Amino acid sequence: MAWWDDLDQYLSARLDDFLRQHPSLEWQVSMDRLTAQEAQTLKLLQSLQQESHQTRQRILETATEIQRWHERIGQAQAAGRPDLAHAAEARKTELFQQGNQLWSQMGVLKTRSEQAQTLLETIRQQRQTTAQQRPAAPESPPPASAAAGRPVSPSDPLESAFEKLETEQELQALRRKLGL
């Protein structure tokens, strides 16, 4: 798999070089990434809100059940049935434990919602900052040979021919290295 890693590094380096030479594309990639992150965070917030609502409903249902079993304890005691009163008391205790677990879950959901909201605000600030940093106009990339430190005339056909040859040779060498 070393050849795969080499190819990945090569392509990643080429992409980075290309994006540096085209700042407007680099800017667009950043904006797209931030937009996707914002959409994911909004989806997470919506999911957390829905889960919080469901948990809140379960807490209310549990509280209603606790109240009902509390009344049944009184009924059993009034009827002289300590066996039913103890069983009802045990059920009420179970419901209290369930309610405590739901309450803890609600606290976790609240914390996660706050964290997601903070993340959303951070993403929106980054998006706003990135939007303000949009490159004014597309820049023409420097010639490849000039980037290598050699002065060249853009209209030099011999230089262009050699650049093409060197590029083809690099590509063939990479293909041989990768076994393609």
Calpha distance 138→36 (Å, rounded): 24
H-run or E-run covering 142: none
| Domain that residue 36 falls in | 16-141
- Non-local (6+) Cβ contacts of 69 within 8 A are 88, 91, 92, 95
Same domain for 99 and 82? yes
Same domain for 151 and 171? yes
Task: Say what the pTM is.
Answer: 0.62
Say if 67 falls within a structural domain: yes
pLDDT in single tens digits along all 180 residues of the chain = 688 888 888 888 887 888 778 788 888 888 999 999 999 999 999 999 999 999 999 999 999 999 999 999 999 999 999 999 999 999 999 999 999 999 999 999 999 999 999 999 999 999 999 888 887 655 454 544 444 555 555 567 888 778 888 888 887 877 777 766
Domain tally, the chain: 2
Say if 179 falls within a structural domain: yes
Same domain for 43 and 123? yes
Calpha distance 147→112 (Å, rounded): 48
Same domain for 115 and 97? yes
Residue entry with tokens 């829905």: 50
Residue entry with tokens 């807490």: 59
Calpha distance 21→121 (Å, rounded): 31
Calpha distance 58→79 (Å, rounded): 31
Same domain for 47 and 134? yes
Say if 62 falls within a structural domain: yes
Same domain for 20 and 91? yes
Query: Helical H runs in 22-148?
Result: 23-78, 82-132, 144-147
